[in-house]
Amino acid sequence: MSQRSLRERIPGRLKSVVGHSSRTFGRLTASSRMLPGLLICGGQRCGTTSLYRALSQHPAILKPVFHKGVHYFDTNYDRGQAWYRGHFPMEARASRIAEGTGLAPIAFESSPYYLYHPLAAERFARDLPGVKVIVLVRDPVERAWSHHAHEVARGFEPVADFAEAVAAEQARLDGVEERLRKDANLYSFDHQHHAYTARGQYTDYLEPLAELVGRDRVLVLDSGEFFTRPEDAFERVLRFLGLPWMTEFAFARHNARGRPSPMSDELRGRLTDHFEPYDERLADWLGGVPSWRR
């Protein structure tokens, strides 16, 4: 029986107990654990899970012990670095891999909200000096539509009509980012889950991110190219990380969803026009026109 099948047969309450015990052990052994040298920071609904699973196949790239997104620098920062470090592999494991491969292993995680939370980038720039960041981007109109479908499916969005949710966005987010900046303990459900249009204004987030960590440490990937030519895109990722291509990688698309409501031509055209100036600025990051504008 596979590990995944075994996990699926464990009762939910037992999973919770095991998970809590594991995280407690991780916290107690934090000083012997790695810190990540790579963060996949977003964007949401842009293929981050697919890239995470591809990276996890590389022998020198080590995923978190518990789950792909730790969400420390956005919603769990008050838990402290020992809690965060407890989510990553032991240094002893990294040493064994280094001896076997001649490479310095890199730990990583994927928390797409990091790109958008107004305090996350300054936190990881300070706490993880030298960290590298990967951001995936896709057609922002399709991204917003997919994001809405995802939130509806998870029960996080009571407005099932996409057009209505887009219309409600400004009122939901009015003043929230400023309040999040001022109060490090504040949490906004609307900001994390209902920012459909704002999330596709990629350069609004990339530019301050680069100022904090250095533009040479930020790699932006067009998810359209990642899914149509995964080997080429993944080769760019490995060059960015300074690692060789060591094995055969399986590339697949994960977390695709249907749409609970249609999008009218009028709304699509309006959103396409809205994103045009942002897409033009994004070309500098991608080295060319985004795939959805060609």
**Separation between Cα atoms, residue 48 and residue 68, nearest integer Å:** 10
Distance of CA 263 to the CA centre of its chain: 26
pLDDT higher than 60, residue 244: yes
pLDDT higher than 60, residue 107: yes
- Residue-wise burial string across 26-44, b where 16 or more C-beta atoms lie within 10 A, e elsewhere: bbeebeebbebbbbbbbbb
pLDDT higher than 80, residue 111: yes
* Fold observed for domain 23-287: Rossmann fold (3.40.50)
pLDDT at 228: 92
Angle CA 216–222–224, to nearest 5 = 165
Contact predicate 193/107, CB 8 Å: no
Domain boundaries, the chain: 23-287
Whether the upstream peptide bond of residue 86 has omega within 30° of 0, thus cis, is no
Rounded to an integer, the average pLDDT of 246-255 is 75
- Which tokens is 224 given? 């359209």
pLDDT higher than 60, residue 25: no
Contact predicate 43/143, CB 8 Å: yes
Contact predicate 113/71, CB 8 Å: yes
Task: List, in order, residues 6 or more apart from 251 with CB less than 8 Å away.
Answer: 50, 54, 230, 231, 234
**Separation between Cα atoms, residue 283 and residue 161, nearest integer Å:** 31
Model confidence at 1, pLDDT cuts 50, 70, 90, reads: very low
Closest CA to 51 of 129, 137, 116, 115: 137
**Separation between Cα atoms, residue 275 and residue 196, nearest integer Å:** 12
Model confidence at 20, pLDDT cuts 50, 70, 90, reads: low
Average pLDDT of every residue of the chain: 90
Instruction: Note the pLDDT tens digit of each residue in 145-179.
Output: 999 999 999 999 999 999 999 999 999 999 999 99
Mapped onto helix, strand or coil, the DSSP state of residue 62 is: strand
**Separation between Cα atoms, residue 173 and residue 153, nearest integer Å:** 21
Write the Ramachandran bin of 165: left for phi over 0, alpha for psi from -120 to 50, otherwise beta: alpha
